[in-house]
Structure 1
Amino acid sequence: METIDIAKGLPHRYPFVMVDRITEALYMKRSKGYKNISYNEPWTVGHFPDEPIYPGVLMIETMAQVGGFIFYNGESGAAHKFYLSAVNQIKFLQPVVPGDTFAVEAELVESFHTFHQIKCTASVGDKVVASGMLTLSYSD
């Protein structure tokens, strides 16, 4: 999925799009994508000036946005507008810094009406840097 298609699957727009590319989107199953972490992003000024580290809250947002592509039906081009409803058991295992590619794999674990629990694993290279469960809800 090219960058231009990301706008079809996300309700977010600049400056809050936290995904550079979606590499897999299997409707109601799983999704994969990544964000290239850059020195040119606003958070590098204050988190932290001499040693920028990608903020944990933005890691969660990136995982949620990649996970949201689980609800993207590429065949019809339809996407549900989703919301982050809960954050559970998130672990930050390694710092993520400018120059890294923050890769996310998300898998649908359980659904109840419009609430969907997804398991997310984020890595840089072959190292897992963050993992946990997110609950997303969506509306039509």
Structure 2
Amino acid sequence: MEMNIQDVKNYLPHRYPFLLIDRVLEIEVGKSLVALKNVTFNEPQFTGHFPSQPIMPGVMIVEALAQATGILAFKSEVGKPIDGQIYMLVGIDKVRFKRMVEPGDQLRLEVEVLTVKRGIWKFKCQATVDGKVVTTAELMCTQKAAD
């Protein structure tokens, strides 16, 4: 199952400049998700990180992975979120940055469910560019109910 940007916006509350998923390529509900993030020079972080050699900050790569986990968790647990319902990042383990990500790159974001215990989802995550690993991590998230 694929999701375009309009579909993605139905699952994530983020908007420019913080919506970091452009397309979902594959979803296996309850198991895994593959998404894309197109990295462009026009993104605001590149004006200061770094002006002479723009590099996507590692925390932005981790956030893109976290957004992918949120989509997978919603699709797996409640189908589609109601207004105000979000998944919150609650833990980051085993993060490794192996390569730089620069404007013009396309991040392939792969997330896989490891466990779900007492409402805490744990995911194995990997970001690649052109088949080369740039970031790996284990992320945890949980649902925050609508106010």
TM-score, with length taken from structure 1: 0.93
Q: Could you say which residue in structure 2 is the equivalent of 1:41?
A: 43
CA deviation after TM superposition for structure 1 residue 34, in Å: 1.1
> Structure 1 CA distance, aligned partners of 2:28 and 2:71?
8
Q: Could you say which residue in structure 1 is the equivalent of 2:67?
A: 65
> Structure 2 CA distance, aligned partners of 1:66 and 1:22?
8
CA deviation after TM superposition for structure 1 residue 26, in Å: 2.5
Count of residue correspondences:
139
Contact 1:21–1:33 (Cα < 8 Å) also in 2: yes
> Alpha carbons of 1:99 and 1:39: their partners in 2 closer, same or farther (altered >3 Å)?
same
Contact 2:17–2:44 (Cα < 8 Å) also in 1: no
RMSD of aligned alpha carbons: 1.5
Contact 1:25–1:69 (Cα < 8 Å) also in 2: no
Give the gaps of 5 or more residues in structure 1.
Answer: none
Contact 2:113–2:121 (Cα < 8 Å) also in 1: yes
> Structure 2 CA distance, aligned partners of 1:106 and 1:11?
19
The amino acid that maps onto 2:69 is: G
The amino acid that maps onto 1:12 is: H
Percent identity over the alignment?
35
> Which one has the bigger strand percentage?
1
Aligned residue for 1:57, secondary structure, equals helix
1:1-140 to structure 2, matched below 5 A, reads 1-73=3-75, 77-79=79-81, 81-140=86-145
> Structure 2 CA distance, aligned partners of 1:11 and 1:100?
25
TM-score, with length taken from structure 2: 0.89
> Structure 2 CA distance, aligned partners of 1:136 and 1:29?
15
The more displaced of 80-89 and 94-103 is: 80-89
The amino acid that maps onto 1:134 is: L
